[in-house]
């Protein structure tokens, strides 16, 4: 069995005291690949250092997170662009719109998102999308851009069935994380209706720890809890969940086939 954590901020300073032990626990739990979303210029160095320390295990993305979009976002975007020209990344992310924390910079968030989607098409990379309280907004922005090579993940998907179907229709996958294990999230009823071929697993560590670790620091070893819950919801084996979701991730990030 092997699991793929498609979204984990393992370079976060929250892991500074035990990063290697945390990774060892995840690998012992069956997680064999970790995809690291970038946030902004300050996370690039620790992210690339972690990737360099674990080649073929940790994979870096490049992008500007919507919560880091502010008055200086054009300078941030210029740095993203320089990195995209300098080396290959597995994806552009995480990018998107966040209407939960701060609505001050919505127009700039939208501009930064669209620019980075344009670069994803130029560099033929998937996009990893942060859609907090903005799923319909983002679906509306992406619909006119729909084409064969536009692909990616709606990370930490928590929407309803209609939104799930629209994401799939657009050619994207749904990133399923710890929220699936929360009581009354409703995400179990939605994922039950969606084919496994459209789902990937993620932790979003150090955030969004699954039950029974809810509210505490999340880590990639807990991906197993999400996988077990998904197997229960879908009425399939843990092996089936791990195999299909890892294949989906591998195909999206260009690691196989
Ligand atoms: Ni994230």
Q: Where are the domains of the chain?
A: 3-253
Distance of CA 62 from the midpoint of ligand 1 (Å): 12
Distance of CA 152 from the midpoint of ligand 1 (Å): 14
Distance, in Å, from the CA atom of 52 to the CA atom of 50, rounded to the nearest integer, reads 5
What is the domain class of 3-253 according to CATH? Answer: alpha beta
3-state secondary structure of 84: helix
Does the pLDDT at position 139 exceed 60?
yes
Per DSSP bridges, beta strands 58-60 and 199-201 are unpaired
State which H helix or E strand residue 155 sits in. Answer: strand 152-155
Distance, in Å, from the CA atom of 147 to the CA atom of 212, rounded to the nearest integer, reads 41
Tens of pLDDT along 75-94?
Answer: 999 999 999 999 999 999 99
Distance of CA 80 from the midpoint of ligand 1 (Å): 17
Distance of CA 95 from the midpoint of ligand 1 (Å): 9
Phi and psi (nearest 5°) for 198?
-105, 5
Distance of CA 24 from the midpoint of ligand 1 (Å): 21
- In the sheet that holds 152-155, the strands lie side by side as 92-96, 127-130, 152-155, 172-176, 199-201
Distance of CA 206 from the midpoint of ligand 1 (Å): 9
Weakest-pLDDT range from 31-40, 95-104, 111-120, 171-180 = 95-104
CB 152 within 8 A of CB 173: yes
Does the pLDDT at position 35 exceed 50?
yes
Distance of CA 86 from the midpoint of ligand 1 (Å): 23
Distance of CA 147 from the midpoint of ligand 1 (Å): 25
Per DSSP bridges, beta strands 199-201 and 172-176 are parallel
Distance of CA 6 from the midpoint of ligand 1 (Å): 10
The CA-CA-CA angle for residues 63, 69, 71, to 5°, reads 130
* pLDDT grade for 256, boundaries at 50, 70 and 90: low
Distance, in Å, from the CA atom of 174 to the CA atom of 185, rounded to the nearest integer, reads 16
Tens of pLDDT along 177-234?
Answer: 999 999 999 999 999 999 999 999 999 999 999 999 999 999 999 999 999 999 999 9
Distance of CA 208 from the midpoint of ligand 1 (Å): 10
CA distances from 21 to 11, 31, 60, 117 (A): 13, 14, 20, 35
Q: Of 72, 162, 91, whose CA–CA distance to 130 is shortest?
A: 91
Distance of CA 158 from the midpoint of ligand 1 (Å): 14
Does the pLDDT at position 257 exceed 50?
no
Distance of CA 105 from the midpoint of ligand 1 (Å): 19
Distance of CA 15 from the midpoint of ligand 1 (Å): 15
Distance of CA 189 from the midpoint of ligand 1 (Å): 24
Distance of CA 243 from the midpoint of ligand 1 (Å): 23
Q: Is the pTM of this model over 0.85?
A: yes
Residue 1: predicted pLDDT: 82
């Amino acid at each position: 069995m092997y699991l793929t954590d498609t979204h984990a901020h393992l370079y976060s300073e929250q892991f500074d005291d035990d990063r290697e032990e945390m990774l060892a626990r995840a690998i012992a739990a069956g997680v064999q690949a970790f995809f690291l979303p970038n946030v902004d210029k300050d996370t690039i160095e620790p992210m690339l250092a972690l990737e360099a320390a674990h080649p073929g295990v940790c994979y870096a993305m490049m992008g500007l997170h919507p919560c880091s979009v502010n008055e200086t976002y054009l300078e941030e975007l210029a740095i993203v662009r320089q990195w995209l020209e300098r080396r290959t990344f597995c994806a552009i992310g995480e990018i998107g719109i966040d209407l939960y924390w701060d609505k001050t910079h919505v127009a700039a968030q939208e501009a930064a998102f669209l620019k980075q989607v344009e670069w994803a098409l130029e560099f033929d990379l998937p996009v990893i999308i942060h859609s907090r309280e903005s799923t319909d907004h983002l679906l509306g922005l992406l619909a006119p851009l729909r084409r064969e090579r536009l692909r990616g993940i709606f990370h930490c998907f928590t929407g309803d069935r209609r939104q799930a179907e629209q994401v799939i229709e657009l050619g994207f996958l749904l990133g399923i994380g710890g929220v699936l294990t929360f009581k009354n999230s409703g995400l179990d009823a939605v994922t039950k209706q969606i084919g496994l071929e459209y789902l990937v697993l993620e932790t979003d560590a150090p955030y969004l720890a699954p039950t029974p670790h809810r509210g505490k620091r999340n880590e990639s070893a807990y991906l197993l809890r999400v996988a077990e819950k998904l197997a229960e919801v879908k009425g399939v084996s843990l092996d089936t969940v791990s195999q299909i979701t890892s294949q989906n991730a591998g195909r999206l990030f260009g690691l196989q086939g």
